[in-house]
Structure 1
Amino acid sequence: MRSELVFRWGVLILLALIWGSSFILMKIGLVAIPFNELGALRMLLAFFALMPIGIRYWFKIDRKYWKYLLIVGLCGNGIPAFLFAFAQTRINSSLAGMLNSMVPLFTLLFGLLFFDVKSKFVHWTGVVTGLVGAIFLLYRPGIAIDSSSMYGLYVVAATVCYATSVNVIKKYLFELSSTVITSASLIFVGPICGLYLFSTDFPDRISTDHAFVVSFLAVLVLSVFATGLAILIFNMLIKRVSALYASSVTYLIPVIAILWGVSDGEVVSLTQLAGMGGILTGIYLINR
């Protein structure tokens, strides 16, 4: 029992380190690569990294799982990759990391509404508290509602996608291994993103220019570790624990994201910290 507890915490911390660093990596990637190309490149590289595994298992997967793997591919990988990249063209990496903490809130909310998860009053209290915290994160006194901070809504949309994916995996794909889920789901999005990427001017953008090389390497690390390896580990964790517990890795992700952001000169306001506190309080309540 103790070894299992150590394993769970170890995996959560590892995931937090990887995913908490993903926001600063996106920021670096966006220096020389447009957001749409970054999202497509991220999916393509992740697909290449796991392609040998995906192709190996693809023809052994029962067709009844294909529609759920498509949902996981789109909601757990493809759509969020573009939403996060677009959001970070106008918001800083630390704010993106803090907003990402809403995943457990939507995981529970969608579980209650669509996946037959049983609820308690305290769970609903947690959802409301977390949503209020998110409003504080996005609110900036004296700045218009259409300001750059509202690009955080794209991050919120991405967390909705992640929550959908988590619930689908837990309810419909529990018979498949995490390796199969991760690699097979990328088959649905990787090639399409590749075709899109090379329909843009990305091939002409490829160069040995220092800025491009640094941005490309950042996206490469982001793809292999944050999109490939981390999702594989996360899907494995989902199969061993509750979807809610697994999504609680977002307790730790914003801490890493904030540390990276501050080290890069970003400013985190007291209002944002208060909002972050509201979200974490909400996560605590829904885990009770």
Structure 2
Amino acid sequence: MSENTSKWVYLFVLSLIWGSSFILMKKALIGVTPFQLGALRNIFTAFILFTVGLKYIKTIDKAAWKWIALSGVFGSFIPAFLFAIAETEIDSAIASILNSLVPLQTILVGFAVFQIASTKRQVFGVVLGFIGTALLVMEGSDLNPHQNYLYAGYIVLATVMYAFNVNIIKRHLQHLKPLTIATGNYVVVVIPACIILFFTGFFERSNLHQPTLKMALVYIFILSFFGTALAKVLFNKLIKISTPVFASSVTYVMPIVALTWGFLDGEGFSVLQGFASLIILSGVYLANKRA
């Protein structure tokens, strides 16, 4: 298979994996609480990565550990809880579209914190993306009055943290292999995740005998293995054989998969929400488009 063909295969597979992760979170929440979901996702991913990446930990220099820790907290640990909490109130398809704000947030954080210059086109893309977000949230609150769309703020906060993570890796961890960074991230966060899981009452007898728990654990393991551990490796490979611009286009395809899952699961979606989604994706496209 040629590199040109391979990059399209990787793009399709990543879109399918990441686009499906939102419905997996929704299904898992039937049997666990948001904090249990976030903790278990971190724990499962940690042990999956440890099986292949623990031997590379010794290559991390002492000065890099503080950035590894920040990357783990912002890029993995806290967002796992924020998405789980958000999906207790808003549909999985909406969560996936809001997640498309990550490239826009990356530009904002890069400019505000890391002094990375932005073009007028990128600024326009950011503004357009946030207009689309406001429309999406307002229409969602009208379409689903029983849902609290203020919970969309949790996803917006998660995208800001993802943006910090991208900039931290770009600025301070470029000398380390992607698998080394990912494994180091989970070395830092796995113990806090275990502590949180313990205090959620997960190990209480009444909880362990819930009929819905077994399927929830299956969903979480699938989410951790494919949506986090495997996806990180595939995405790094995609960047290697293509360009960052092409790799970031997974953001455009991923919501289509999530919307399909949401439709099949009976989630409502209006024409105005579709229009708002196109505005967001247009903003992301403009912000990432080459001059």
Q: TM-score, normalization: structure 1?
A: 0.91
Question: How much has 1:199 moved relative to structure 2?
Answer: 2.8
Q: Partner of 1:84 in structure 2?
A: 83
Matched, 1:191 2:229: no
Kept after mapping to 2: 8 A contact 1:170/1:238: no
User: Would the alpha carbon gap of residues 243 and 68 (structure 1) be closer, same or farther in structure 2, given more than 3 Å must change?
Assistant: farther
Matched, 1:153 2:139: no
Greater CA drift, 238-247 or 19-28: 238-247
- The code of the aligned residue for 2:161 comes to C
Q: Distance in 2 between matches of 1:114 and 1:146?
A: 38
For 1:118, what is the secondary structure of its paired residue?
A: coil
- The code of the aligned residue for 1:216 comes to L
Greater CA drift, 172-181 or 8-17: 8-17
Greater CA drift, 92-101 or 192-201: 192-201
Q: How does 1:199-210 map to 2 (within 5 A)?
A: 199-204=199-204, 205-207=207-209, 209-210=210-211
User: Would the alpha carbon gap of residues 75 and 196 (structure 1) be closer, same or farther in structure 2, given more than 3 Å must change?
Assistant: same
Kept after mapping to 2: 8 A contact 1:245/1:287: no
Q: Partner of 1:211 in structure 2?
A: 212
Structure 2: state its 5+ residue gaps.
none
Question: How much has 1:218 moved relative to structure 2?
Answer: 0.4
Q: Partner of 1:102 in structure 2?
A: 101
User: Would the alpha carbon gap of residues 239 and 69 (structure 1) be closer, same or farther in structure 2, given more than 3 Å must change?
Assistant: farther
Identity of aligned residues (%): 40
Matched, 1:180 2:180: yes
Q: Partner of 2:118 in structure 1?
A: 119
Over aligned residues, Cα RMSD in angstroms? 2.4
Kept after mapping to 1: 8 A contact 2:100/2:251: yes
Kept after mapping to 2: 8 A contact 1:126/1:284: yes
For 1:278, what is the secondary structure of its paired residue?
A: helix
Question: How much has 1:32 moved relative to structure 2?
Answer: 1.1
User: Would the alpha carbon gap of residues 4 and 113 (structure 1) be closer, same or farther in structure 2, given more than 3 Å must change?
Assistant: farther
Kept after mapping to 2: 8 A contact 1:107/1:166: yes
Q: Partner of 1:69 in structure 2?
A: 68
Kept after mapping to 2: 8 A contact 1:178/1:236: no
Matched, 1:39 2:41: no
Kept after mapping to 2: 8 A contact 1:248/1:283: no
Q: Distance in 2 between matches of 1:193 and 1:74?
A: 11
Q: TM-score, normalization: structure 2?
A: 0.90
Q: Distance in 2 between matches of 1:246 and 1:206?
A: 41
Question: How much has 1:260 moved relative to structure 2?
Answer: 0.4
Cα deviation code 1:34-62 (max 9, x no counterpart): 00111001100111111133431222211
Kept after mapping to 2: 8 A contact 1:107/1:244: no
Kept after mapping to 2: 8 A contact 1:44/1:193: yes
Kept after mapping to 2: 8 A contact 1:107/1:243: no
For 1:122, what is the secondary structure of its paired residue?
A: helix
Structure 1: state its 5+ residue gaps.
none
Question: How much has 1:126 moved relative to structure 2?
Answer: 0.5
Cα deviation code 1:109-147 (max 9, x no counterpart): 222233343322111111100110111110137589996
Cα deviation code 1:63-109 (max 9, x no counterpart): 12111111211111111100000000001111101111111111122
- The code of the aligned residue for 1:206 comes to L
Q: Distance in 1 between matches of 2:63 and 2:238?
A: 23
